[in-house]
Structure 1
Amino acid sequence: MSTMTYRPAHGGHYGLRQAARMEWIKLRSLRSTAYALLLTVVGMVTMGVVTMANTKPPHGAAKVASFDPTNNVLAGVALGQLIVGVLGVLVVTGEYSTGTIRSTLAAIPDRRMALAAKAAVFGALALVLGEAVTFVTFLAGRRALAADVPHPSLGDPDVLRAILLSGAYLALVGLMGIGVGAITRHTASAIGALVGITFVLPALLSGTTGTVVAKFFPTMIAGNSLAVTVPVDGMLSPWAGFVVLCGYSAALLAVGGRLLVRRDA
């Protein structure tokens, strides 16, 4: 991982722009970043195409009313969130495990600014990736549908919104990963916490309490609020779910930033 030190800007101060530039250089210099992003694209598109290829036409008034092929094609978001979330964790913990965090903090002593730069750079990259891959997945999956299955279109009600929010979801999970990584500063524990929050706890709670509590967890919001064009009973509305996810990301980053200030490198 490469690092670079900046001379202070005018007035003896460095800024977020310099910090973000440093983070971008580090992020793009890692082969693991390219491999992880490529795996996200391939995995999500493949899952979307396979899911749509196996989607059968609905029969009966109830099934026709609840039929939501857009939600089916975005099933790969579950895989994408895992990869992007883990990569977000590594953006922080990778530097602690290798010791390069010392170089980062020597260049940018303001730890909150350093974390903000990481979040801004990785969040922007994850957002661009998320929006691109969800659109590609939708278009590729639509072509895989059988001729007798209703084909969704970008012009249909809520389809574009579902795609855009699903893409943004990947960026939000990436920011959550950065926040959890900043809180724990340990790769294994941070990944375990992220997987527990996104996969394990929602599954356990949905089996014991239904959707009363589980509907507030990220994976449940993604699959049953953001990515749907037909409302799911008992779940949050798409925009309410999006606000909750934004709150999670902001809270984790805020806690992570506060803890970084209190700790030694």
Structure 2
Amino acid sequence: MAATQVIRSEWTKIRSVASTVWTLSLAVIVTIALGMLISALSKNEFDNMSARDQLSFDPTFISFAGMSLGQLAMIVFGVLVVSNEYSTGMIRTSLAAVPQRGTFLFSKIAVATGLALAVGMATSFVTFFLGQAMLGEHRAQLGDPGVLRAVIGGGLYMTLIAMFSMGVAAMLRSPMLSLGILMPFFFLVSNILGNVSATEKIGRYLPDQAGSKIMQVVTPVDDSTPYGPWGGLGIMALWVVAALAGGYVLLKRRDA
């Protein structure tokens, strides 16, 4: 089967699954709503902040505060896109129709990535504008130095989270196992490692910690991170490449 036909078939599969719509919708709603709420609270708290906190106040980054929860929905999307066929047993039919396993996997990932990128970018821009509206006089403008990079970076970050989850799901095949590892990893383990002084230097190289640097415009006073915004996104991209490569190798080597 030609690659274009496989891509068309994967697009039909993805859009016909209800979970695709609700997970992406949840990612959008949670990211925007929480971003607006935290932006509004930050505006009210600004005058009570210390001079040091006011100096490192980053209105752009604050509007992306909902991303930490919104990314969980993107993780679910990435996992379900790849592992749904394993849990339903449809994988055997799919691989019989497309024996070239690399073509099959990367067509699925290409379609899902395109969808995640479109949703991620739209979410990032809407989150930014609504968040800034909540911040009032403390808001940033899209034309300010570093702001457009941060907003585009927010969309790329959400996309890379989904892609990383696809790679992990391709390796593990089970939706429950994949989510059972990814959810605690991003929601708990990464935050703990990144915020405890003994493990902070390890935590900053984890995909979400490194990738979220792209959304920062104002560098905190006590920040000693040895890489910049694009460097952080580059580290996250390496994690994604490793996960996808692992998924591809295992798909090639084992039975459906």
Aligned to 1:76: 66
Structure 1-normalised TM-score? 0.89
Q: Answer whether contact 2:27 2:70 (CA < 8 A) is retained.
A: yes
- Which of these residues, 122, 130, 149, is aligned with residue 140 of structure 1? 130
Q: How far apart are 1:193 and its partner, in Å?
A: 2.1
1:89 and 2:79 equivalent?
Answer: yes
1:1-265 aligned at under 5 Å gives the runs 14-55=1-42, 56-57=45-46, 59=49, 61-145=51-135, 147=136, 149-206=137-194, 207=196, 209-223=198-212, 225-232=213-220, 233-235=223-225, 236-265=227-256
- Segments of structure 1 that go 5 or more residues without pairing to the other structure are 1-13
Partner Cα distance (2:237, 2:128) in 1: 24
Q: How far apart are 1:217 and its partner, in Å?
A: 1.2
Q: Which moved more, 1:127-136 or 1:64-73?
A: 64-73
1:90-142 CA-to-partner distances (Å, cap 9, x unmatched) read 11111001011112112211111111011101111101110100100111111
1:212-257 CA-to-partner distances (Å, cap 9, x unmatched) read 111111222244x121101241223111111111111111111111
Q: Answer whether contact 1:199 1:219 (CA < 8 A) is retained.
A: no
Q: Answer whether contact 1:197 1:218 (CA < 8 A) is retained.
A: no
> What is the identity, as a one-letter code, of the residue corresponding to 2:237?
C
Structure 2-normalised TM-score? 0.92
Relative to structure 1, the CA distance from residue 208 to residue 192 in structure 2 (aligned partners, 3 Å threshold; closer, same or farther) is farther
The count of residues paired between Structure 1 and Structure 2 equals 249
Q: Answer whether contact 1:70 1:227 (CA < 8 A) is retained.
A: yes
Q: How far apart are 1:185 and its partner, in Å?
A: 0.6
> What is the identity, as a one-letter code, of the residue corresponding to 2:69?
L
Partner Cα distance (1:131, 1:29) in 2: 22
What is the root-mean-square deviation in Å for CA atoms of aligned residues? 1.6
Partner Cα distance (2:187, 2:69) in 1: 11
Q: Which moved more, 1:157-166 or 1:198-207?
A: 198-207
Aligned to 1:6: none
Q: Answer whether contact 1:197 1:217 (CA < 8 A) is retained.
A: no
Q: Answer whether contact 1:23 1:118 (CA < 8 A) is retained.
A: yes
Q: Where is the helix percentage greater, Structure 1 or Structure 2?
A: 2
Partner Cα distance (1:196, 1:107) in 2: 36
Q: How far apart are 1:61 and its partner, in Å?
A: 4.1
> What is the identity, as a one-letter code, of the residue corresponding to 1:180?
V
Secondary structure of 1:57's aligned partner: helix
Q: How far apart are 1:64 and its partner, in Å?
A: 2.8
Partner Cα distance (1:15, 1:163) in 2: 36
Partner Cα distance (1:132, 1:54) in 2: 24
Q: Which moved more, 1:198-207 or 1:238-247?
A: 198-207
Partner Cα distance (1:43, 1:52) in 2: 14
Q: How far apart are 1:47 and its partner, in Å?
A: 0.4
Q: How far apart are 1:16 and its partner, in Å?
A: 2.1
Q: How far apart are 1:79 and its partner, in Å?
A: 1.5
Q: How far apart are 1:188 and its partner, in Å?
A: 1.3
